[in-house]
Structure 1
Amino acid sequence: MHGRPCRLLPGIRTGSQHAAAAKAVGMSAADRPLRVAYLLLREPSYSETFITSEIDAVRAAGADVEVFVARDNRGPRELRQVVDTTLRHPMRTLRQVHTLGMSYLPRAALAAAHAARLTGLIGTFGPDVVHTHFVNLPTAIAALVGQRTGVPVTATAHAADFLLDPDGYALDRRLRLLSHLFVISEAAAGQLTERGVSLSAIPHSVVRAAFDGAISSPPLRPAGGVTRLVTVARLVEKKGVDSALDMVAQLVRAGVPVRYEVYGDGPLRTRLEERARTSGLTDVVTFHGAVSHRVATAALVGADVAVLPCRRAADGDLDGIPVFLMEAASRGVPVVTTAMSGIPELVGSSGGWQVPPDDPDALADAVRQVIHSPEEAQRRARVLADRLRDEFSPALQARRLLAEWGRLATARKARTRWT
């Protein structure tokens, strides 16, 4: 066995720890909390804080959560794992590859190898449900684990995880193996249908991506002075940071005093830094690089505008509902963004400023409105904070998840009694 197939994220109790806590308050085995096994491909990156926020909320709601991470290594060691699994269990591997679809080869073989490593560990935990995020390889692994353990499997679809999947047939086949599919937005459901997924045949519902849960109401920002614009994002095409730089250049040429701070890293960083230099923005724009979630959220303190001009990338990649916009809203920062994908489901008609993608002029006009109408900016920020509280709170998402998981667990127990 290569590496450690199971690791726990900080703050998540193991089954034994929760059992000890249950015993301390007299909880019996018969009425134990719902057990949820989160199966992740890897530990969440700095841009995937929604996973850890969701896990925290599910645990706070009373569930017993354990996290299993499939990928401790990549490259030659992972390839050897696939070969070893196939040689030891050729017929089982072939059946699992067939289950996922031959067109999904070689990822189906990789999923079978990871499932072989994790099935026993997850079975020992004894979950009522196995849940994963992203409907590509993690869902393939989870579906095979569910088949071998008899445990219901659910998954959350976001955006790039299916938008960039070239095999719509295998995607549909994979999702049909789930007991339930969660989507982060109505827009995502429509996008899955466009990709050829038969959602009418797959039980599904909306559960939003979780933010950190804190909601505050900062004081009114007075007009005048330097306007501080902030973006927290991976520096990839779909985030539209190049459009934001063009917008900043336009404001500077017009004599508007602004500063633009960009937090995050990615393949376009060098190109974006060069764009800022050639636009004469060296003294105005700061690229801070990859930072922790704590630093990223602290950057919103004192920010005047949260800017994220999302677009569809050339390869089809698209944001779902960016967590950065939720975290800005939770701190009362007015948002200027684009009406793309699921973003209108968060911002609504009056929760911020939404402009067309790839339109620096419209971005600049929106920022000017924030600057010159602080009362209106605060009003829209309050509307967005209320929307966040009513529809996007982590506690609400945890209740939605647990309601469905509880239903699946009850149905499974009923089937077990009758067989």
Structure 2
Amino acid sequence: MSAPRIAVVVKGYPRLSETFIAQELLALEARGLPLAIWSLRRPTDRDRHPMHARIAAPVAYLPEYLRDAPLRVLAGLGRALRRPRFPALLALFLRDLARDPSASRLRRLGQALVLARELPESVTHIHVHFLHTPASVARYAARLTGRGWSFSAHAKDIWTTPDWELREKLGDAAWGVTCTRDGLRRLEELASSSRALPPLAAGEDEGRASRLALAYHGLDLGRFPGPPPARPPRDGSDPADPLRLLCVGRLVAKKGHDDLLDALAALPAGLHWHLTLIGGGEMRAATEARAAALGLGQRVAFRGARAQPAVIAAMREADLFVLPTKPAPGGDRDGLPNVLMEAASQDLPILATAFAGTPEFIASGTHGLLVPPGDPAALAEALARLARDPALRRRLAGAARTRLVADFALDPGIDLIAARLAASAGLGALPAAAPHPAGACACAS
């Protein structure tokens, strides 16, 4: 493998909840991009996805807390003081600190000093996932070393980062992509409302807006088995064979598990169902307590975080996938959850909310059913309708898979990102990635 030319900065690696990042790294390597991963945090998940084992990029961990590695931080500071760009970095940091006088801001500077010192000379470009804290580290290190940097923005980072910070990061970055039209609109509005995007260089003929682009994560269908045979026509009428519901998502406020439990509690007593809930997170104890308080404890199975093969196996056994995302109290929200595309890959019908990027994939009544976010009554009504109509579920599931294959393949977004990264890093033209054999599944092990 050639020496890394592109440093990819992430908040934590590897993470079970960020299959889209692992999928992207693997696909970029398949196109010949020499990557190195720099993570702000060490992994906390016990399991890993099979994809992680296939990623060849070396992984380095920055000190999550500066007190954990004082010698690395001091060495970074000593090297920074000898760099000609240190005064410019210091001025930038002090402006940021005046608006965000937090320990986190100081920590990002320390991590950036370590990153700037330890990046190999072969690295010519920095790319970062998420525009909040990881982008602060990447931006400071780039400013200090004179490297260019770019970003992939996703969801929480777009909607919870202060406007002033987003505008300034948009102005500093060479280019950026985001994974939903919803997010792209917000970034374009911020860019157009200020002088965020840098002026075009001499001879550059592309429009300013082209520095921001939409790149759906898509799904690498080569990693998944084909859909299972036709599912049994369960309709919730048989207590011995209840309707099998599945929800996959971290147990955090924006996933809407509270609304799902309230909706399930409102279903008719004669409708028999069982919910499998896959995901770990800060709200697990509260969610389990809510299920017990609603009298649903015996009908809801909490499985915790699971690697992708276990998730796909659960999708193949389920009758209906439910994900009622909504805005969290602090403004956090989803983009276009990859699990929706994974469910569609298995011909699993989808019930979700008309929120964030979900309607960009699912047209309600055509590819699934969408209800308003934060509305348990509407969710209960849709659950009852889909439970009692296996034919409707089959029709919606088939249409969603057709849409997935036609419009949400992996390659278009990866090709865009790969071409921009290659140009920014000074690499030549990239060879096309070898396609997976049709129907091959690299997720089963």
TM range (shorter): 0.7 to 0.9
Counterpart-to-counterpart distance in 1, 2:287 and 2:246:
15
Change (3 A) 1:36 1:364: same
Mapped to 1, the partners of 2:101 and 2:416 lie a distance apart of 34
Question: Counterpart of 1:218?
Answer: 228
CA contact (8 A) 2:320 2:350 kept: yes
Give the aligned residue type for 2:337. Answer: P
**Residue identity in the other structure for 1:218:** P
Q: What aligned pairs does 1:227-376 form with structure 2 within 5 A after superposition?
A: 227-251=243-267, 253-349=268-364, 350-376=366-392
Q: How far does residue 294 in structure 1 lie from its aligned partner after superposition? A: 2.7
Structure 2: distance between partners of 1:67 and 1:46: 16
Within 1, Cα distance between the matches of 2:227 and 2:9?
36
- Counterpart amino acid of residue 294 in structure 1: P
Find the residue that maps to 2:177 and give its secondary structure: strand
Shift in Å, 1:63: 2.2
Q: Distance in 2 between matches of 1:108 and 1:95?
A: 17
1:95 maps to a residue whose letter is A
**1:113 partnered with 2:106:** no
Using the alignment, how far apart are the partners of 1:410 and 1:170 within structure 2? Answer: 28
Q: 1:173, CA displacement in angstroms?
A: 0.8
Q: Which residue of 2 aligns with 1:47?
A: 17
Tell me which amino acid in the other structure corresponds to 1:299: A
Aligned to 1:6: none
Report 1:135-214 matches (<5 A).
135-165=131-161, 167-192=162-187, 198=193, 201-202=196-197, 203-211=211-219, 213=221, 214=224
Q: Quick one: distance in 2 between partners of 1:197 and 1:111?
A: 27
Counterpart amino acid of 2:212? Answer: H
CA deviations over 1:115-150 (Å, ceiling 9, x no partner): 3322354343334x3211000121122223334444
Corresponding residue for residue 96 of structure 1: 89
Structure 1 distance, partners of 2:18, 2:11, is: 12
TM superposition score normalised by structure 1: 0.81
Contact 1:50 1:212 in 2 (8 A): no
Distance (Å, rounded) in 2 between the aligned partners of 1:342 and 1:199: 25
- List runs of 5+ in structure 1 lacking aligned partners: 1-13, 19-34, 414-419
Kindly tell me: are residues 223 and 63 of structure 1, through their superposed partners in 2, closer, same or farther at Cα, counting changes over 3 Å? same
Change (3 A) 1:277 1:322: same
CA distance 1:244–1:381, shift in 2 (3 Å): same
Amino acid at match of 1:96: L
Q: Deviations over 1:205-235 (max 9, x none)?
A: 0112354533633333232342111111111
CA distance in 2, matches of 1:333, 1:377: 8
Q: What is the one-letter code of the residue matched to 2:122?
A: F
Superposition deviation, residue 194 in structure 1: 6.3
Distance in 1 between residues matched to 2:428 and 2:105, nearest whole Å: 27
Q: Match of 1:74, as an amino acid?
A: E
What's the Cα RMSD here? 2.9
Deviation at residue 340 of structure 1 after TM alignment: 0.5
CA contact under 8 A between 1:168 and 1:197: conserved in structure 2? no
| 2: CA distance, partners of 1:269 / 1:409 | 42
Partners of 1:78 and 1:170 in 2: how far apart? 28
CA positional deviation for 1:108: 4.9
Tell whether the 8 Å contact from 1:223 to 1:372 is kept in structure 2 after alignment: no
Q: CA offset at residue 337 of structure 1? A: 0.4
Distance (Å, rounded) in 1 between the aligned partners of 2:248 and 2:87:
44
Answer with 210-219 or 42-51: which moved more. Answer: 210-219
Q: Please give the secondary structure, in 1, of the residue aligned with 2:277.
A: strand
Written as runs of structure 1 = structure 2, the 5 A alignment for 1:392-407 is: 392-407=408-423
TM-score by length of 2: 0.77
Matched, 1:62 2:29: no
Unmatched tracts of structure 2, length 5 or more? 42-60, 198-210, 235-240, 430-445
Secondary structure at the aligned position of 1:66 is classed as: strand
Cα deviation code 1:45-92 (max 9, x no counterpart): 221121111111111233222222344443352584656645664585
Tell me the distance in 2 between the aligned counterparts of 1:211 and 1:310.
20
- Among all aligned residue pairs of Structure 1 and Structure 2, give the percentage whose two residues are the same amino acid: 30
Tell whether the 8 Å contact from 1:37 to 1:66 is kept in structure 2 after alignment.
yes
CA contact (8 A) 1:41 1:138 kept: yes
Provide the residue aligned with 1:25 in structure 2.
Answer: none
What amino acid does structure 2 have at the position aligned with 1:216?
Answer: G
d(CA) in 1 for partners of 2:67, 2:148: 30
Q: Does the Cα contact within 8 Å between 1:96 and 1:112 map onto a contact in 2?
A: no
Q: Secondary structure of the residue that 1:216 maps to in structure 2?
A: coil
Cα distance in 1 for partners of 2:142, 2:216 equals 24
Separation (CA, whole Å) in 1 of partners of 2:24 and 2:254: 24
Match of 2:56 in 1: none
| Distance in 1 between residues matched to 2:108 and 2:428, nearest whole Å | 25
| 1:171 partner amino acid | L
**Deviation of the 1:394 alpha carbon:** 2.4
Higher helix share: 1
Q: Secondary structure at the match of 2:92?
A: helix
Aligned length: 380
Answer whether contact 2:128 2:138 (CA < 8 A) is retained.
yes
Alignment match, 1:384: 400
